[in-house]
Structures are given as structure tokens and as C-alpha cells.
Chains A and B, each alone.
Chain A
């Protein structure tokens, strides 16, 4: 579990801290890389700009993506993740305040793996983050790093 990096794309410092707090509380010891806007998220994922020098081991295993992000909107980030061969299968969980049908539809339409609405109640929020970490980092088997020869 320690090798797996979580990329948290969140521009609200309070939400960021609460999310990290919730993760820590449930002993999720994975490294969490925080990016504050959509552009930075893409730079990190595709090793561009200030993140060009990051190591290959730093490749995230899970992306927690807010929708309301500066510069590039979270849904647009998702679209570009899915459009790129390198990140096409990367698990992306939308973590947002929005319960708009429009957003939910667009997210799933672009193959988001989950859509979690951040509850106002911090107890519920903590519980959601716990289940999220447990599921995606422990229970869920990620896709292999390279394409098997026998894959159809």
C-alpha cells in the first residue's frame, strides 16, 4: 500500500486539509500528491512543466478529482486523462460538492470510475473517504502496468 500514490486535485485549502485529515484518520499511509488546478493535475500526470522531472514510481494509482478546478475544469481533466493512452485505465474518482445531474452525467459519460458527493457532515465525509481508500487502494485490483501480449 505504501507504494501507491494518490493524486488529489483540490483547489479549496480547507477541503484539502479535511480530506487529508480523513485519510490520515483511517491510517491510509499512501503518499498524497496535491495539485491545486486542472493544469497542474495534467502536468503531473503527463510529467510536463514543473512536474517533468518526477520519477516513474510517483505515477498515481488513484486520482481524486474535484470538478470546480481553476484553469482547467475537472471534467475536462477527466476527458484528457481518458484520451491519453498512458492514463486511459487510471482509476479516477470524482470528489465534488456538486449533485447536479449534468455533472454526474458528464463524469460517467467520460468514464469516471466513481462519483462521490462530499457531504457537509464531516463524520459522513470521513466515512466516505475511508470507504473510498479501502475500496480503491486495497480491494480493487488495478490494471497491469503493461499490456499483456494475449490481450484482445
Chain B
């Protein structure tokens, strides 16, 4: 989280100061304006009062035509420095006495006349009649300097300005203190949020320091954190459990793998010993039976020779069984490759070798459909070798035969088949077809070990496919298989 461009404290102080300063300045301005507008009236009233008193005092001097007394009375104005000049006029309006005594003639008019009050170029002038009862004795003229008035207004403005500045200072101090009260919870909340986001530690709590909306916000924030913490703990817990389960699973897989490996090794050792040790005695049985026939054939007679031939045949049959068993065992152990295989080409090769072994047979071989697929070339060869060899074998009792290898599409999935028109089998026994050592025909009719189809089944399974058959006695048999049904 980056630092904010401006702080909420600064904003709060700014808002408070702007508001209070505006209010203070406006108030001050109103006060000063009011003072400036009311002062002239006040001065005029004062001057009028003073003029009234002077006029009352001057009646005797005017009635007795005594200018010295009049000068004496006017001299009392000395106490007020704002009065610049004063003059008394007789009943005819002629100048009678002045203040100061030798005032410049331009300052006071020679003859009395004009409005009662007026402001004349920075001076206020008051004219007052001097009366005794209702008889007019003369007039009084008073001239006051207004500069003192300006001075008073300026002083007043200065005081107001000082008050405004002082208030602003106090407002600043107050706002600084207040903003701390408001901004502190916000700052604490922001710090807590930042700490949580940086450390991913959901046990952090914001300090709730106010009882207002910010307090509620902090409380809600804490509740939210508590909820997150709860879920975080639950998540960690399930993660831990998951890891533990995973470890257990791995251990079990490892244990199972090592078990399998050891079983595999045992099986290999077993196969090896079967391959070596079971075949050697068989070879002796067959070999010495032959030797017996050759060396002592005459003594055995026809029956003895026939018995010995049976012994030899059994030994050879067992040899074949051992070979097939070993092949079946090897199937599960060899690693599988996955390549493009043309089953038609493989089928042609198998058929060629069968024809070569029995060239007298009349068998028609037909390939239909696209028989290419993916799989282990040598394993698929074993499949076709067994199926075609079976077809070849079970058609051997018929004068002519037809063997077909093909592919029929089925919902976009390839279904391969090998069919013949030979002896076939009863579908009632179809379930035994792929079981090891299970045979549906007598050994005297058709030779075999009963392991060929078991081997085919095993290979098809390793290719993720299915194997099934359709047949009827003496109407031939058709073996179907698919590959890679489980995996694409």
C-alpha cells in the first residue's frame, strides 16, 4: 500500500480553518462597516449637544454685548482638540467672537448662514441659534475636524483584525486537537488494513478508539477480520489435512509400488525357473522316448511304439503350454509403445506364414475397411496372430474357407474384427472363451493350449479396449475388438 498523497488530518484542519476564518472575516467586516457608518452620526450628536450648551452659556454675553465674555466662553473648547474653530454671531448675523481668538478669516464665515449641519471637506460644521426664551440673540458656529473620526475607525478595524487573527489562531489550535480526535481512528484503521494486507496476518485487529461511525467501521472491520481469520484457519487446517492425506497416499503408493515390484521380481524369477527347469525334463522325456523307439523299437512292438508316441505328444503339448504361459506372463510385464499400426499389413504377413506352412489349403483372405490404428506393434501382432491362427485352425475341417479381417465404424469409434466360416462355437459357452486354459473344442478335434484368447484379451485390455465374439456352431466365428475406449 502506498502512502496517501494527502492526509485526512490536513484536510480536516483545512476545512475547519476555511470555515472559521471565513466566518470571522465576514463578522469583522460587518462590525467595521457598521462602526464606520454610525460614527459620523455619533460625532454630530456630540457636537450638537456641545453647541447647545455653548449657546445657552453665551446668551448673557450676547444680551449685554460683551465680546470678551463670549471669547472666554468659547475658550472652554480647548479641552476638545477635535474642534478646530468656533464663532458667535449677533442677531444681525455679524461676527461677534471667535475661537481661537485670532482665527484665520478663511476658517470661519464672516456672516452667519447655511444649513444646520453639514460636512465640509473633512470637517463637520454645526450651526446653532442662541435664544433667550423665543427671542433670537445670535448664532453659534462650530467646526470639528473629522480626521479624528477616521482615526477611530482605523483603530476599530485594527482591533477587529487582531481579534480575527487571534480567533483564527485559537481555531487552528482547536481544529488540530479536534482533527486528532477524528483522524486518529481513521489512521489506526488504515494502518491495521495495511498491516493485514502486507503481512497476511488476519489476527491483527483495528483499535476502536471512538464511539461514532468510525468506531462502528472499526468494529465491522474487526468482525470481518475475525471471519477471515476463522476461514483462514479452517483453510490452513484443511490444507494440512490434504497434505497429510497426500503424504499418506504417496506412502501407500510407494509401499504398493515396492510390493508390486517385489511381486514382479518374484514372478520373473518364477518364469525364469519355469522356462529352464520345467522344459529340461520334458526334453528328456521326449528325447529318451525317441531313443527308446530307435534303439529298442523292435522289442516294444506296435502297441509299445504307439504308447511311446503318446508320451512324446504329451511332452510336446506341455512344452507348448509352458511357452504360452511364459508369453502370457511376459505380456503384463513388457513396456508398451504406441505407434501407428496397419492391422491389414500385419494380417497379410500372418496369413502368408500360415499359407506357407500349409500350402495345400484353400483359404480366401479378405481385408475390408481402414484397419489402421495406434498401438504397440508387437503386441497387436500377437493379437492378429492368435485370431487369424484360430480362424485358420477352426476352418481346417472345411474344404474351402474364407477369413476376413476388417473394421466397421461404430459411432466414430473403430471396431476391428476377424471372422471365419469355420467350426464356430456355441454362444452358451461364450463366457468361458477368454479364460486361461478354457477350451471349447476337444483336443482331438482342434489342438490348442487354451491360452491364445486369454493372451489376446490381456493385450486388448492393456490397449484400453474391449474384446467380444459372435458365433454359432458350424456357422463360423467373428471376434470383435476396440482399442483406446478408456483413453482417447
Report A's interface with B, CB cutoff 8 A.
12, 14-15, 18, 21, 67-68, 96-100, 118-123, 125
B446 at the interface (CB under 8 A from A): no
Q: List 25 A-B contacts (CB under 8 A).
A: A12-B280, A14-B280, A14-B281, A14-B284, A15-B283, A15-B284, A18-B291, A21-B291, A68-B276, A97-B275, A97-B276, A97-B279, A98-B272, A98-B276, A99-B323, A100-B272, A100-B275, A118-B279, A118-B283, A120-B279, A120-B282, A120-B286, A120-B318, A125-B283, A125-B287
B290 contact from A12, A119, A123, Cβ within 8 A: A123
Shortest beta-carbon distance, B431 to chain A, in Å? 32
Classify the secondary structure of A's interface with B. loop
* Cβ-based interface call for B40 (8 A): no
Q: Which residues of A contact B287 (CB under 8 A)?
A: 14, 18, 21, 122, 125
- A121 contact from B272, B277, B280, B286, Cβ within 8 A: B286
Give Cα A97–Cα B316 distance, bound, in whole angstroms: 14
- Tell me the dominant secondary structure on chain B's binding face: helix
Give every chain A residue within 8 A of B318 (Cβ-Cβ): 120
Provide the residues of chain A in CB contact with B326, threshold 8 Å.
99
A18 touches B283 (CB 8 A): yes
Question: What is B's interface to A at a CB cutoff of 8 Å?
Answer: 271-272, 275-277, 279-284, 286-291, 312, 315-316, 318-319, 323, 326
Chain A residues within an 8 Å CB radius of B323: 99
Q: A98-B272, A120-B315, A121-B316 are in contact. Are A14 and B279 (CB under 8 A)?
A: no
In the complex, residue of chain B having the shortest beta-carbon distance to the beta carbon of A21: B291
Roughly how many angstroms separate A12 CA and B279 CA in the complex, as a whole number? 12
A125 to B285, CA, bound (A): 13
CB-nearest residue of chain B to A67: B276
A79 to B354, CA, bound (A): 39
Q: Report whether B280 and A15 are in contact in the complex, using a CB–CB cutoff of 8 Å.
A: yes
Chain B min CB distance to A69 (Å): 11
Contacts of B288 in A (CB 8 A): 14, 18
| In the bound complex, CA of A26 to CA of B432 (Å) | 47
Contact A99 B275 (CB under 8 A): yes
Query: Nearest Cβ distance between residue A25 and chain B, in whole angstroms?
Result: 9
Query: Top 10 A-B pairs ranked by shortest CB distance?
Result: A120-B319, A14-B284, A122-B287, A18-B287, A122-B290, A122-B286, A97-B279, A120-B282, A97-B276, A120-B283
B308 to chain A, nearest CB (A): 12
Which residues does chain B contribute within 8 Å of A125, judged by CB atoms? 283, 287
In Å, the complex CA distance between A60 and B417 comes to 55
How distant is the Cα of A96 from the Cα of B280 in the complex, in angstroms? 9
Most buried by B among A14, A21, A96, A121: A121
Instruction: With both chains docked as a complex, state the minimum distance between the C-beta of A107 and any C-beta of chain B, in angstroms.
Output: 14
Which residue of chain A is the closest to B282 with respect to CB atoms? A120
| B317 and chain A: residue at smallest CB distance | A120
**Nearest CB of chain B from residue A144's CB, rounded to whole Å:** 37
